[in-house]
Amino acid sequence: MRRETTQGTPFLLPQNVNFTRFIPTSPDLSTTTYGVPRAAGQTSNLFLQPQKNTVLHSHGRPPWYGEDGVRICDAFVIGVAGGSASGKTHVARQIVKSLGSIPTVIILSQDSFYKFHTPEELALAHANKLDFDHPDAIDMPMFAACLADLKACKQSNIPVYSFSEHQRLNETKYLYGATVIIAEGIMSLHDPELRALYDLKVFVQCDSDLMLARRIRRDVEERGRTVSGILDQYLRFVKPSYDNFVQPTSSHADIIVPGHNNAVAIELICTHIRRQLQERSNRFRQKMAIPHLYLSNQFGSPRPDYTPEELNLTVLPQTLQVQGIFTILRSKGTLRQDFVFFVDRLATLLVEHSLQHLPYAPHKVVTPVGVDVKGLKLDAKYVCGVAILRSGGALERGFRRAINDVPVGSLLIQSDSQTAEPLCLHVQLPKCIRFRHMAEKAYVFLMDAQIGTGATAFMSIRILLDHGVRQDHIIFVTFLVARGGGITVLRHAFPDVRIVCGAVDDVMKEGWMENYISDFNPEGVGRKVWVMEPGMGQIGDRYYL
């Protein structure tokens, strides 16, 4: 029997964390992932009642790709089946809660995939005479297609079903970024195509009397139904469906979990998941930071003295004006208001210079004096910007000055305080990227303050590619690039991405940062860092703080 659900709502961030100024409020944007930093040992209430069909985010999503930019692992998918009121949702939520500080989890509900109903079927549904417990009531091909996309680390737009209207709505729910996916529903193990996608298959076994008792209490208290109506529906549809379709799928399960007193079984499942995630982890930021020391064999003897032409960089012409701006921005004595002013000027110049990478088509206009003039017009169907927060937000004002009628999204990527690997904490992308058929035609200006180790740029580009954006449609705009840093690896992995920068610095040096306290490192644990020289310092801090 289906369960009435609502769309997941965004989690509230802790009071001491403020992302407000970094999150655009355009209606063309959709927030799908929320990073929730917290101190070591601090527990979170977010997993007590996780919503279905929502990305549940803990400490961030680590890299899911290798040095060559290719995906190295799929999301870990768990199928949870069982009878109506057997405790499937409870088991799924307990798994999420027991996993604790893991990357990203989605509880994907079968209930979203009920088929579109005809007027005749709607009449039967409102009269409680339509069988929602038969496998034919579920759009299994769409369920499998959405799950396959999420498993392959792509985005998916799942249908939205209204239980009050008994109908699929003309809207979808955008999901992306899961490391663990829990697909739950009474028919989750019924379809062979679905079963082929699961890494772990779970069946929740519960006594029929207990399931009926739970169902009566739930429907009376939560749905305002009568006991006689519940029993009639149970005997007509629910019990025959369980006997004929649901219970037989237990033979496909890897683990059968009791519907109550199941803490030991859940802990065994979580131990297995943690081991699988550990085996799939990948760390290579140190190799990217100084590639000529660590990646010589794999990348054909990288060296720290590549020219901009060899790196295929589009460098802003070094006019006297540009040199003067950089002199002001590099100086540690520059006041904040002057720093912000000249950053905005430089960002505007960079974005204007980047517009040469957009396609243009011949276009004829008539001047105010009646003369025909042949010119050019923009020939891109979709154009948008994506700022990598926080320092990438410093380019947003310049971007809007140069292109004032396109949406701007954001990515929040921070370094792990222990491993220094990048963690994706927040994804908020424009509509033209969220839908794959639009993303394939979109040109995206990806903005960050600098490319040093290249780890953040690497992850950001990979996110856009996961959505279907073409490499040659990505225009990366940045103030500085370190020729001896990760740009070599970035160019090897994504040769067709256009990179536009204001200047090229020479040196990337390893260092150690002590007592740097932030929301993501509240205890100030020391860690390795890589510093660009001469550089511009912490651009995000200088711009915002």
pLDDT at 369 over 90: yes
Q: How far apart are CA 97 and CA 90, in angstroms?
A: 10
**pLDDT tens string 31-70:** 544 333 333 333 344 334 556 666 665 567 888 888 888 8
β-bridge partners, 507? 533
**pLDDT tens string 419-466:** 778 888 889 999 999 999 999 999 999 999 999 888 999 999 999 999
Question: Do 54-287 and 308-544 show the same overall fold?
Answer: yes
The amino acid occupying position 304 is: P
> Could you tell me which of 34, 32, 31, 37 has the C-alpha nearest to residue 59?
37
Please give the CATH superfamily to which domain 54-287 belongs: P-loop containing nucleotide triphosphate hydrolases (3.40.50.300)
The structural domains of the chain, with segments of one domain joined by +, span 54-287, 308-544
* Cα distances (Å, whole numbers) of residue 43 to 37, 269, 417: 11, 21, 18
pLDDT value for 320: 97
**pLDDT tens string 257-299:** 988 888 899 999 999 988 888 887 776 666 665 555 444 444 4
Q: What angle do CA 425, 413, 524 make, to 5 degrees?
A: 90
Tokens coding 257: 């979990």
Confidence of residue 525 (pLDDT cuts 50, 70, 90): low
**pLDDT tens string 299-334:** 445 555 678 888 899 999 999 999 999 999 999 999
Range with lowest mean pLDDT among 13-17, 142-146, 235-239, 241-245:
13-17
β-bridge partners, 482? 505
pLDDT value for 50: 52
Which residue did the predictor score with more confidence, 161 or 48? 161
Segment 363-378 mean pLDDT: 95
pLDDT value for 14: 31
pLDDT value for 388: 96
pLDDT at 13 over 50: no
> Could you tell me which of 429, 422, 426, 428 has the C-alpha nearest to residue 451?
422
pLDDT value for 202: 94
Segment 483-496 mean pLDDT: 89
Q: How far apart are CA 528 and CA 420, in angstroms?
A: 7
pLDDT value for 129: 83
Confidence of residue 485 (pLDDT cuts 50, 70, 90): confident
> Could you tell me which of 140, 103, 156, 138 has the C-alpha nearest to residue 1?
138
Q: How far apart are CA 346 and CA 11, in angstroms?
A: 36
pLDDT value for 297: 44
Global confidence as pTM: 0.83
Q: How far apart are CA 431 and CA 384, in angstroms?
A: 9
Domain 308-544 CATH (choose: 3.10.20.30, 2.60.120.620, 3.40.50.2020, 3.40.50.300):
3.40.50.2020
pLDDT at 158 over 70: yes
Q: How far apart are CA 160 and CA 116, in angstroms?
A: 11
**pLDDT tens string 190-209:** 999 999 999 999 999 988 88
Averaged pLDDT of the chain: 83
